[in-house]
A = this chain, B = another copy of it.
Amino acid sequence: MRMPRLPHDIRRVRSNPDFWYPVAWSRELRRGRAIGVRYAGQPIVVVRPEAGAIFALDDVCPHRQVPLSKGDVCGDFVRCAYHGLKYSRRGQCFSSDMKIEDDLPRLRKWACQEKDGLIFVFMGPMEKSDSVPLPDIPRVRDPHYRTRRFGKIVKCHYSFMHENLMDMNHQVLHSRLVGSMKPRFLGMERGHDFVEARYTFARMAGKQPLSEALIYGQRRKEGRNFAYRDVMTIRTQYPYQALRIETQGVEEPVMDLWIAYVPQDREEQTNRVFGLLSIRRLKVPFILDLAWPLLVAFTERVFAEDREIVELEQRAWQEQGGDRNQEVFPVIMALRQLLVQNGISAQTA
């Protein structure tokens, strides 16, 4: 059974802009400062005035085209570093002595909100932004969990990232870190804007790593007895992705990951990752805090292995001049369809 070739090369499918995309962590932008970010090649300046809410404009001064984010914030205005032109949160241009500059066009503004320590920008038309909800990441605010924020630039199309997380048959890649794990696929659900897959695992060889014990809240000495007791659920809820682990005898997930891949360049072949990894606190809660640096190192190493492999996939795609993958796993075939149908294909763009 070969996958029917999709009409579009999935690695050329643009992400759909009619969503809220995280563009920076809240902690990156202090009061009275501006920050330059990108979505799919579009430069955006996000401004946090001394008072009031953040706002976002095109990060290009219409006068001389330099990035406004190189300038500074004066009251409720962002001021261009070059000639001192000032822009209000509505994009109106003022001269340095605060006269309206009619010669210069108004700057495009972007809907912009802050939630759960993330700064989101709505990349579609402003008027649509009200009807599209911000993503909800409830564990971040739940005192029973501790959350790690992480993310790096990954040099590949976002679809490689979705496929990587969704396809749990890649345990070999992490075997040096987690030992030999055998996944069992439990089933999949799908809708017009999501794909969800469930797996369970058995340890085939090797000891349970300490980091895993901390996540599950259990030390498992004999692997076989604990085979297939946990359920891992991975869901692409377009355009975001989530992964949670539930284990027998614990009502709430022991781990809950929310992750977004935000295209940086116009070709969307470089993505910035925003990940929030929430781990349920143990009965003796400070143990998790004590072990936190260990968990950080462990997850960082797993993520580094994933990043290396998806960047190799991207490089192969580049060299081969297109997608030659021979996909056979129905979950990944469904996921690809989802990403193509919800994204913007080159031909239809």
Contacts and interface: CB of A to CB of B under 8 A. Distances in A.
Interface in A71-89: 79-84
Interface string A93-131: 000100000011100000000000000000000000000
Contacts of A316: 60, 65-67
Contacts of A62: 324, 326
Contact of A81 (B65, B80, B105, B172): B172
27 contacts: A2-B103, A62-B326, A63-B325, A64-B325, A65-B313, A65-B316, A65-B317, A65-B320, A66-B309, A66-B312, A67-B316, A70-B309, A70-B312, A79-B172, A80-B172, A81-B173, A81-B309, A82-B170, A82-B173, A83-B170, A83-B173, A84-B170, A84-B171, A84-B172, A104-B326, A104-B328, A105-B326
A103 B309 contact: no
Residue of A70, A79, A172, A325 with highest tally of chain B CB at under 10 A: A172
Nearest to A306: B82
Interface string A40-79: 0100000000000000000010111111001000000001
A102 to B, nearest CB: 9
A96 B317 CA distance: 25
Contacts of A66: 309, 312-313, 316
Interface in A317-335: 317, 319-320, 324-328
A164 to B, nearest CB: 9
A169 interface: yes
Given A62-B326, A63-B327, A66-B309, 13 more contacts: A2-B103, A64-B313, A65-B317, A65-B320, A66-B313, A66-B316, A70-B312, A82-B172, A82-B173, A83-B170, A83-B172, A84-B171, A104-B328
A179 to B, nearest CB: 14
A96 to B, nearest CB: 7
Closest 8 CB pairs of A and B: A84-B172, A65-B316, A103-B328, A66-B312, A83-B170, A62-B326, A83-B169, A82-B309
A184 to B, nearest CB: 13
Contacts of A83: 167, 169-170, 172-173
The size bracket of the interface on A is 35 or more
Nearest to A66: B312
A132 interface: no
Contacts of A104: 326, 328
Nearest to A41: B319
A250 interface: no
Contacts of A290: none
A310 to B, nearest CB: 9
Contacts of A319: 41
Given A81-B172, A172-B81, A316-B60, A103 B65 contact: no
A96 B172 contact: yes
A284 interface: no
A339 to B, nearest CB: 16
A14 to B, nearest CB: 18
A118 B295 CA distance: 45
Contacts of A349: none
B63 A326 contact: yes
